[in-house]
Amino acid sequence: MIIIGQLVDIPKNSIYTASIEIKEGKILKINPIEKDENLPFLMPGFIDAHVHVESSMLVPSEFARLAVVHGTVATVSDPHEIANVCGMQGVEYMIENGKQVPFKFYFGAPSCVPATPFETAGGEINTTEIENLMSRPEIHYLAEMMNWPGTVNRDELVMEKIRISKKYGKPIDGHAPGLKGDLAEKYVSAGPSTDHECFTYEEALGKLKLGMKIAIREGSAAKNFDALIDLIDEFPELIMFCSDDKHPDNLAVSHINELASRAVAKGKNVFNVLKAACLTPIEHYSLEVGQLREGDAADFILVKDLKDFQVINTFIEGEKVAENGKTLIKSIKNEVINNFHTSLKKPQDFQLKATSSKIRVIEALDGQLITPEISGKILIKDRFATSNPAEDILKITVVNRYQDAPPAVAFIKNFGLKTGAIASSVGHDSHNIIAVGIDDESICIAVNLIIEAKGGVSAVYGDHEEILPLPVGGIMSDSDGYEVASAYTRIDRLAKSMGSTLNSPFMTLSFMALLVIPDLKLSDKGLFNGQRFEFADIFYK
C-alpha cells in the first residue's frame, strides 16, 4: 500500500511531500517526491497522555470507535475507576476488551485502590497485585499516585508500590493538585514524573522546574488548557496533552485534535504542539506507537491542514480505522461485569436533623475539580435540614452501592437546579451513588432508578424520569458508543432544563465524592476535608 501526502517531520521541524510504502502493518519506505501543496498532511496520530476510559461511559472497544475519528491512535489509560469497583477483575476486563479492536490502549497499574480509607470501594489492589501487573508487558506505568500525603511522608505502603515500579523500570504518574514548594519537591523526589492535575501556571511551572512532565488537561469537567498552554513555549519537551475524563457526547465531537487546534490558534509553534500531542507520550512511556519513520508501525493520520486538524483518514498498523468522520471499527459483543449490592431507599433515608441553619457548603466550580469550603444557610422544616433553592444551596447525598448503609448527606452550591434531582453511579473514586436535588422525594426516586438498573445516570423532573443505564461496573455501557453519546446528550439537556447552569452537570457531579481533590467533598461515610484529610462537621458549632 502506498500513501502520499505532505509529511510532517516533527523532530526535524520540516514538512515535505512524500510517498509512504506500507507492508504488513509497518512503514517499509518513505520516499520524498515532487512538492505538491494540494495534498493532505501526513502526521503521527494523536495520543491522550492520561485518560480514564471508563469516564467516557464506554467500554474500551467502543471508546476506540469514537476516538479514531478524531485521529487518536493510542491512549495512556488508567483503569483506576473499574478497579475501585471490581478490583483485578476490572483491570483484566479493560485489557482484554481493548485487545479486541485495532487501537493502542496502554494501561497502568492502579496505585490507589481503594483511593482512601475514608470511603467504601468495591475492590482492592494490594502490593502483590501491583507486582503482578508491573511484571506484565501490557502494563506500562504505575498509574497516578493520588496519595500525595503518603508520598511526601514516605508511607511504607506507598513507597513499596513506587519501589516495585522502579524495579521494572516503568514510570510513575503523579497526582498532586496544588502542591508547591518544599512539598512538591518531596513529592517529585519520591518518584512521580508527571502531573495532570495542575490548575495554575505557577504550580505547573514549579513542577516543570523540578523535572516533571506536565499533561495539560482539557476534559469534560476539568479544563486547564487556557491556564497552562503558554508553558509549551519554554518547555516544549516536557508538555503532553490529555483529557483525563471525557464524557461520550464530547468524545463524539472531538478529542486531542481539539487541543492541538486551539494551541495553534493561540500562536503556538505547530511542531511544539504536535510533539506534545503525538510524540512525548511515546518517549515517556515507551509506547509501541509509530512516529512516522521507516520501520515503525504504520500508525498515522491524514489531515486537511495544520490549523483545524480535520482528520481525513486514521491508520493503525496499516489498517484504515476511520475515514472522513466515520469510524471503520465494528462494534463487538461485550461482556458485563458488575458489583452492585444495595437495596432501594426511602425518602426519609435522606433526612438530616438540623442543629443550626449555618453550615459548611461544598462549592462546585464549573470547569474545575477543586471545591472550596464556603459557609451558607439552609432551610429548616420540621427540624430537618432542607435545600435552599433561592440561595442555590442544594442537598447532596452519597449512597453506598456495595452494601446497605445510611446515605451520607451534605449541601452543595452552584448546581442551579430549580426542581427535581439528578443522580449517578459514576462517582469518583469509589463509584458509589451520588445525587443532588431540591427535595428528598426527588433525590430518592433518582437514586432508586440507578439501584434498579445496577448503574447509570438519572434525572427526575416532576413526573418525568429518565435513566441512561451503565451495566458494566455501573460506570460503562456495553452499547454502541454513538447511541450512548446521543442518550447522554438527552439526559444532559434535561438536567440543564431543570436549571443547572454547569457546562457538564453529570461530569461535575461525578467528582463531588473525589476526596483526593481539595477542599470539601462528600463520601459515603461523610463530609470530608481534602486539605486536612479528615472528616468535617456539616453544621458550624
461-489, pLDDT tens digit by residue? 988 999 999 999 999 999 999 999 999 99
Task: Give mean pLDDT, residues 278-292.
Answer: 97
Q: C-alpha grid cell for residue 135?
A: 511484571
Q: 367: pLDDT confidence band, cut at 50, 70 and 90?
A: confident
CA distances to 114, 150, 387 from 161, in Å: 14, 11, 43
- Domain positions in the chain are 45-287, 347-535
∠ CA 136-142-144 to the nearest 5 degrees? 150
Find where cell 452543595 sits. 412
Within 10 angstroms of residue 96's Cβ, the number of other Cβ atoms is 13
Residue 321 — φ and ψ, nearest 5°? -110, -10
Task: Tally Cβ neighbours within 10 Å of residue 536.
Answer: 17
pLDDT of 2 reads 96
Share of the chain above pLDDT 90, in %: 92
For 235-242, what is the mean pLDDT? 97
pLDDT at 508: 92
pLDDT at 284 over 80: yes
196: pLDDT strictly greater than 80? yes
Pick the CATH number of 45-287 from 3.40.50.970, 3.20.20.140, 3.20.20.70, 3.30.70.270: 3.20.20.140
pLDDT, tens only, 395-448: 999 999 999 999 999 999 999 999 999 999 999 889 999 999 999 999 999 999
Do 390 and 405 contact (CB within 8 A), yes or no? no
Sheet holding 456-461, edge to edge: 373-377, 358-363, 408-413, 393-399, 433-437, 421-424, 456-461, 464-469
* Predicted confidence (pLDDT) per residue in 44-54, tens digit: 999 999 999 99
- The per-residue pLDDT for 299 is 98
Closest Cα to residue 514, out of 63, 181, 84? 84
Report whether pLDDT(541) > 80.
no
Cis peptide before 114 (omega within 30 of 0): yes
Q: Please identify which residue in the block is written with the cell numbers 497499574.
A: 109
Burial of 425 (0-12, 13-18, 19+ CB in 10 A): buried
Model confidence pLDDT, tens digit, residues 2-57: 999 999 999 999 999 999 999 999 999 999 999 999 999 999 999 999 999 999 99
Portion of the chain with pLDDT greater than 70, in percent:
100
Q: Is the peptide bond before 519 cis (omega within 30 degrees of 0)?
A: yes
**Banded model confidence at residue 456, pLDDT cuts 50, 70, 90:** very high
Residue 291 contacts residue 301 (beta carbons within 8 Å) = no
d(CA 524, CA 433): 9
| CA pseudo-torsion sign 54, 81, 202, 272 | negative
CA gap 12, 434 in Å, rounded:
50
Q: What is the pLDDT of residues 85-126, one digit of tens each?
A: 999 999 999 999 999 999 999 999 999 999 889 999 999 999
Closest to 510 measured CA to CA, from 418, 398, 406: 398
* Strand, coil or helix: 462: coil
Q: Identity (one letter) of the amino acid at 320?
A: K
Terminal Cα-to-Cα distance of the chain (whole angstroms):
74
Vertex 283: Cα angle to 83 and 134 (nearest 5): 35
Q: Which residues contact 3 (CB under 8 A, 6 or more apart)?
A: 19, 20, 22, 42, 302, 315
Residue 69 has pLDDT above 90, yes or no: yes
Q: What pLDDT score was predicted for residue 334?
A: 84
Give the per-residue pLDDT at 530: 85
pLDDT confidence of residue 116: 86
Instruction: Tell me what percent of the chain is helix, strand and coil, each rounded to the nearest 5.
Output: 30, 30, 40
pLDDT band at 532 (very low <50, low <70, confident <90, very high): confident
* Mean pLDDT over the full length of the chain: 96
C-alpha radius of gyration, the chain, whole number: 23
Q: Which residues, 6+ apart, have CB-to-CB distance to 357 below 8 Å?
A: 377, 378, 379, 380
